[in-house]
A and B are shown apart, each in its own frame.
Chain A
Amino acid sequence: MIEIRDLHKYFGALHVLKGIDLDVQKGEVLSIIGASGSGKSTLLYCINGLEPIQQGKVAVDETNVHAKSTDINKLRQKLGMVFQQWNSFPHLTALENVALAPRIVKGKPRAEARDIAVKQLTHVGLGDKLDVYPSALSGGQQQRLAIARALAMEPEYMLFDEATSALDPELVGEVLDTMRLLAEEGMTMICVTHEMGFARDVSDRVAFFHQGVMEEIGPPEQIFGQAKSEHTRKFLANVR
């Protein structure tokens, strides 16, 4: 379980997250929507400790993410993350991309890391691209490669930061399908997304962020049907 309590985040004088309270249960799929600059990415970075926080607390399975005593590299193994800009390692083949972290972070033997990589690449539909370098993959394929790479660490949570936003429209579907598949398999997911269809169909809950505040959270029917907040309704009217 991910617990966020009264989280405040500043970039210098800029108050980016203004007291976020949020619990994400095991197995839940949470989508986060909101305008550009509302702090969605920053929230994800605070959850896996890529950004320090100024007040409040983030705990993952009762481990305080920002405590000095926390082994952050260990904790991050539980938290897979996929970014908007796909960032495969260009000097490694698809297989090596996926096998690298299991090998050097978890210390798996080469053969076992390879097996894990083959399994996860097959899982995301790249079983026929094992020895291909990322430069020969499409954006959608590279994004699925990034998902496989994260899954190879056997994370318990997956954080997606607009995983489809940088893709050509015709490539969005294959990545969303992969994310759907993970959701069906019971992965706990937090998805920052602009894909309202995905948020509506796949999520258990949808959170709307507005200027650093979590303005509203609830089941998709509520957010898309009868949003309480004026800002939410306005935002949704504009994206549709």
Chain B
Amino acid sequence: MFDYNFHWRPVMKSLPDLIDAAFLTLQVAVLAMIIGIIIGLCLALIRLHLKGPLYWFASSWVEVARNTPALFQLFFFGFGLGAFGLHLSPYLIVLAGLSFNCAGYLAENFRGGFQAIPDTQMRASRTLGMTAWQAYTRVVIPQVFRIVYHPVTNQMVWAVLMSSLGMLVGFRELSGETQFFASRTFRIFEYFAVTAVIYYVIVKLILGAARLLAARLFRY
């Protein structure tokens, strides 16, 4: 009754292509995280310190990013903008969608991080003659950094995994590439099994690197 024959040879033959695609996945995830961190930081600071239109803009961003399916967010940058005549390449669709999503999640992490630092840290810094900028960059942000370190690591993992949605907008990152080969050879199970292992390895490497870095960075 179970008469499926496994054929691993095609997968092994396209392994170099899969590895290349894995680097593309990593690249788009890292870029999305960098953009997400910068925008997320801005969104968090806006939500903490401003009122009015900017506050509402930032809050809506966070709300939409966190409360709608990531796939729809990707589709928005693909088909949504496409409907208005703005056609992004698959790479840009995924990068924009992931960045949008990461920024929303990170903004909330950063906001919580800033709120966890008592005002007295700022006051004490200012009484020493530091400018607000110096107090922020030398005293507040390093402490926030530690608080958000693990959430940011998790978000990085999430970005890698989420980038697999790219295959649904025609982006040949790791999943898209796998899908491409799988449908040509019909070795669907084999391809996706190997790809799952590659994802697993990437995630473990990220977590391991993060742990090593944390041990070096945080001695208090």
Residues of A within 8 A of B (CB): 48, 50, 73-74, 76-77, 79-81, 83, 85, 87, 89-92, 100-101, 104-106, 133-135, 146, 149-150, 153
Contacts and interface: CB of A to CB of B under 8 A. Distances in A.
Interface residues of B, number: 20
B88 to A, nearest CB: 41
A-B pairs, 4 with minimum CB distance: A101-B128, A81-B127, A133-B220, A77-B129
B128 A153 contact: yes
Nearest to A84: B120
A216 to B, nearest CB: 28
Nearest to A90: B220
A210 to B, nearest CB: 26
B138 A146 contact: no
B120 A83 contact: yes
Contacts of B27: none
Interface stretch (B89-97, B139-147, B203-211): B139-147
B120 A85 contact: yes
A104 B134 contact: yes
Contacts of A83: 120, 123-124
Interface of B: 118, 120-121, 123-131, 134, 138-139, 142-143, 146, 219-220
Nearest to B141: A91
A129 to B, nearest CB: 14
Contacts of A76: 126-129
A80 B126 CA distance: 10
A87 B130 contact: no
Contacts of A77: 128-129
A15 B142 CA distance: 38
B121 A149 contact: no
Contacts of A135: 220
The residue among B124, B125, B142 with the most chain A CB atoms within 10 A of its own CB is: B124
B121 A89 contact: yes
A150 B220 contact: no
A91 B143 contact: yes
A79 B127 CA distance: 7
A145 to B, nearest CB: 11
A104 B130 CA distance: 8
A62 B124 CA distance: 24
A83 to B, nearest CB: 6
Contact of A153 (B118, B129, B134, B138): B129
Q: Which of A50, A83, A90, A106 has the most CB of B within 10 A?
A: A90
Contacts of A101: 125, 128-130
B138 A100 contact: yes
11 contacts: A50-B123, A81-B127, A87-B121, A89-B139, A91-B220, A101-B128, A101-B130, A134-B220, A135-B220, A150-B128, A153-B129
Given A83-B123, A150-B127, A91 B134 contact: no
A50 B127 contact: yes
A32 to B, nearest CB: 17
A106 B118 CA distance: 25
A231 B129 CA distance: 37
A54 B29 CA distance: 53
Nearest to A93: B220
B142 A91 contact: yes
A226 B136 CA distance: 49
